[in-house]
Amino acid sequence: MSKNVYVFAEQRDGNIQKVAYELVGKARELADTLDEKVYAVLVGQGMDAQAGSLIAAGADGVVLVQDEMLAEYTTEAYTKAVVEVIREKGPEIFLIGATAIGRDLAPRVSARIHTGLTADCTGLAIDEASRNLLMTRPAFGGNIMATIVCEDHRPQMATVRPGVMKALAADSTRTGEVEELKVAFSAADMPVEVVEVIREERTSVDITEAKVLVSGGRGMSDAENFNALLDPLAEVLGGVVSGSRGAVDAGWIDHECQVGQTGKTVRPDLYLACGISGAIQHVAGMEGAEYIVAVDKNDGAPIFDIADLGVVGNVDTLLPKLTEAIKEYKEGK
Partner 1 sequence: MKIVVCVKQVPDTTEVRLDPVTNTLIRDGVPSIINPDDKAGIEAALRIKEEVGGTVTIVSMGPPQADVALREALAMGADDAILISDRAFGGADTWATSSTIAAALKKLDYDLIITGRQAIDGDTAQVGPQIAEHLGIPQISYVEDIKVEDGTLLVKRKFEDRSHLLRAKLPCLLTCLSELNESRYMSIGGIFRAYKKDVQVWGLEDMKDTVDMANIGLKGSPTRVRKSFTKQAKGAGEKINVPEDEAVAIIVSRLAEKHLI
Check residue 131 for interaction with partner 1 (CB under 8 A). Answer: no
Looking at beta carbons only, is 114 or 182 nearer to partner 1? 114
Check residue 21 for interaction with partner 1 (CB under 8 A). Answer: no
Looking at beta carbons only, is 119 or 250 nearer to partner 1? 119
Among 1, 182, 192, 331, binds partner 1 (CB under 8 A): 192
Q: Beta-carbon neighbour count of residue 157 at 10 Å?
A: 27
Check residue 134 for interaction with partner 1 (CB under 8 A). Answer: yes
What's the rounded Cα separation, in Å, for the pair 213 and 102? 27
Nearest to 28 by CA among 6, 10, 50, 8: 6
Looking at beta carbons only, is 48 or 321 nearer to partner 1? 321
Q: Among residue numbers 240 through 279, which ones bind partner 1 (CB under 8 A)?
A: 269-270
Phi, psi of 8 (to 5 degrees): -80, 115
Among 111, 131, 166, 223, binds partner 1 (CB under 8 A): 111
- Stated as kind and residue range, the H or E segment containing 325 is helix 315-332
Residue 188: helix, strand or coil by DSSP?
A: helix
What's the rounded Cα separation, in Å, for the pair 291 and 311? 14
Options 57-65, 177-185, 243-251, 287-295: segment touching partner 1 (CB under 8 A)? 287-295
Q: Among residue numbers 298 through 317, which ones bind partner 1 (CB under 8 A)?
A: 299, 304-314, 317
Q: Among residue numbers 31 through 70, which ones bind partner 1 (CB under 8 A)?
A: none
- Residues at the annotated binding site? 218, 244-245, 258-262, 275-282
Identity (one letter) of the amino acid at 146?
Answer: A
Which residues does residue 180 pair with via DSSP β-bridges, in sequence order? Answer: 64
